[in-house]
Amino acid sequence: MRKILLVMTVLMVGLLHNTYAQHGGVKVGFKGGYSVFGWQGETVKSFKNLLEYTNGNVTTRMRQGFHAGGYLSIPLGSGFEFEPGVQYSQKGMVLEGRVPGDAAEFANAKVTLTNKGEYIDVPLLAKVYVAEGFNLFAGPQVSFLLSNKVNVNAGAFGFSAYNNDFEWQESQRKVDLGFSAGAGYQLQNGLNVGGSYDMGLTTLDGTSDYKTFNHGFKASVGFRF
């Protein structure tokens, strides 16, 4: 966590230095909130087709997590802003397998594999105000992989009998290029809310052997000074 905070601080200081030197009326903001991310692509589609043969005993779902960071609001004209930001973001996906059989079903015996991808997102957003406080935004996003682990959890009756994390970074792409778009509402007192959809445009693996991409949703609450 200290490394994450250090990287975010360095990036934010760099943004502040460059923008304050060139623009007037720049505002600083912070935001964070709930995230839900998963994988999509050709490999995921083939994998889901294969899971149909498990009669629902093996399923996939999106990983729930959070994101938090800072941003700058740089006015470009009436109703337009440029909003670069830096934020820590949790991504990944979940694969859950249940042991078939009446006894196993009663015991709720299952094994859960969770990919825990931790990223630093750097969105570069163009924002337009379409009504009082209400805005739409979109732009490219660069994501830097900090950590990528697979958590294995096995248990029954609501108790965990085995829980361990394994590193998985050997073939993972360290820089993910993507796109972010969404909508928000900015209050006069500085508070704001928003939601976005993030889509990765480069494959998760560096060699592109499996066509899989990050994608997910973020719901944020923030404050702009």
Neighbours of 54 (CB within 10 A): 12
Domains and CATH numbers, the chain: 2-224 (2.40.160.20)
Q: What is the pTM of this model?
A: 0.83
pLDDT digits (tens, 9 = 90+) for 83-133: 999 999 999 999 888 766 555 455 567 789 999 999 999 999 999 999 999
Beta-carbon contacts of residue 21 (< 8 Å; ≥ 6 apart): none
Compute φ and ψ for 89, nearest 5 degrees: -140, 135
pLDDT for the residue 40: 92
SS percent in the chain: helix, strand, coil, step 5: 20, 65, 20
Residue 187: DSSP 8-state: -
